[in-house]
Chain A
Amino acid sequence: MKSWKYIPVCFSLMLVAPIFSQTKNSDAAQTNSTQQAPAKAVHNSQQRDGNTVFEQNCSRCHTTPQGFSPRISGTVVRHMRVRAGLSKEDEQALLRFLNP
């Protein structure tokens, strides 16, 4: 049971490690990850809104799908509306984001 006492220390280290690992690479990494999102070209404010909806409601739970047929984008978004509790406005912004 004694080793249990060391577990909070490990957990604390895991929380702190990412902060110290922030380097100049972080900006490049973030740019890179943005380019991996379904809508690679984000041009206007409506699409940025969709990007925000995606980040705040979808990618908090799961990784970004590596691409899917536009034929099912409406179905994906409706599924997410129910699962993630999106409003109709958020649903439409997300649909525009997936189909720029």
Chain B
Amino acid sequence: MIFLSALSLVPNLAAQDTPLISGGVGFLTTTNGGNTTYSPTIEPVLAAPIGQRLLVESRAALLESFFPLGNGQGYDTTHFTGFTYLQADYLATSHITVVGGYFLTPFGTYNERLTPIWISNFQDGPLIFPIGTMGSASGTGAEVRGNAVSTGKVSVSYAAYFSAGSTVEQFQSSRSTGGQTSIYFPNARLEVGFSYGRSLEGQQSNAFGTDVWWEPEKIPLKIRSEYAHGAHSQGYWVESAYRLSQFGGEESWLGRLEPVFRIQQTFRNSPDATDGLPAADTQRADFGLDYHLPHEVRIDTSYARQFSSTGDKNVWETAIVYRFLFPAWRGKK
């Protein structure tokens, strides 16, 4: 009897581990300095468990960009196809997962959490995104990650990696090492994280970062922020998203609206044309309005004003994104 009761508590993993296909497909537009670029995009995700301890997963990006020619005579196109990550995860113990392959560089929060088009509130990443993400934002090598402590009061997760340099077109990466740790306090709904990265190519350099996320318990407000310091520049961003679900619930027409706002600044400490940050001190404010339609469809709109001694500019962005999630095949019953 006890045995039967125990069995009923054990999840039936065999029937639930069918490989899945997920991701997002979207149509994005960006108007920058009066020129509008159109980008149909698809980002498929594949996750396939093998046995009880192994997971193979991948995310790719396929996009086509249509941009205006300078002489006003029509449009030209470029296309991009590449892996964002393609990795094997071995669940070694309850607290240790060993990752091998091509993985997202664990620095800050944006790269690992917010880059998918069906998650990010804004189409473009923060200005400080290149700091610590080592160029391609992915590494080729090995990573150890997991949860060190998880209680009702605190949760500590960590990641450490080593990446080799790779010039293979689909798996570009820099020789680098680094890691991050984050401490989450569930009662306060507050997370504080720290990141470190070291580029091991050419003139070696360090990058440091810290991040703070907070979600008030009774208000559907998300506040996210990051600060990063690189060899020749530094900066921060703060983003807030307020889902209007307090007005009639998440399914009401008003509750589907989510105003978002992001403020960011970068500071140039010394010239570096290769670090990916603006050449001069820059301030930028993004005002966005996202609308969550039924059936996993979302419409994102935003306007940004960027201020810099090299010139101010306006950036308008719109997107419609559909998120999908289904089994790769029928699977066993």
Residue contact B186 to A56, C-beta cutoff 8 Å: yes
**Nearest residue, chain A, Cβ from B241:** A14
Residue contact A90 to B255, C-beta cutoff 8 Å: no
- Say yes or no: is A88 at the interface (Cβ < 8 Å to chain B): yes
User: Contact mask A26-42 → B, CB, 8 Å, 1/0?
Assistant: 10111011001000000
Q: Which residues of A contact B215 (CB under 8 A)?
A: 60
| Partner among A72, A88, A90 whose Cβ is within 8 Å of the Cβ of B327 | A72
User: Contact mask B319-333 → A, CB, 8 Å, 1/0?
Assistant: 000010111001100
Q: Which residues of A contact B285 (CB under 8 A)?
A: 4, 7, 10-11
| Partner among B57, B114, B245 whose Cβ is within 8 Å of the Cβ of A82 | B57
CA distance A15 to B6 in the complex (A): 48
Q: Which residues of B contact A10 (CB under 8 A)?
A: 261, 285, 287
CA distance A81 to B157 in the complex (A): 11
Q: Which residues of B contact A79 (CB under 8 A)?
A: 20, 47, 55, 57
Q: Which residues of B contact A52 (CB under 8 A)?
A: 186
User: Contact mask A63-93 → B, CB, 8 Å, 1/0?
Assistant: 1011011111111101101111111111010
CA distance A8 to B238 in the complex (A): 11
User: What distance in Å separates the Cβ of A8 from its nearest Cβ neighbour in chain B?
Assistant: 7
- A: interface residue count bin: 35 or more
Q: Which residues of A contact B250 (CB under 8 A)?
A: 29, 32-33, 36
Residue contact B94 to A18, C-beta cutoff 8 Å: no
List the 4 closest pairs (A to B, CB-CB), nearest first.
A85-B157, A74-B16, A32-B249, A88-B94
Chain B interface (Cβ < 8 Å from any Cβ of A): 9, 11-13, 15-20, 47-49, 55, 57, 89, 91, 93-95, 97, 99, 112-114, 116, 118-119, 145-147, 150, 155, 157-159, 182, 184, 186, 189, 191, 213, 215-216, 218-223, 238, 240, 242, 245-251, 255, 259, 261, 263, 283, 285, 287, 292, 294-296, 305, 307, 312, 323, 325-327, 330-331
Chain A interface (Cβ < 8 Å from any Cβ of B): 1, 3-4, 7-8, 10-11, 14-15, 17-19, 21-23, 25-26, 28-30, 32-33, 36, 46, 52, 56, 60-63, 65-66, 68-76, 78-79, 81-90, 92, 95-96, 99
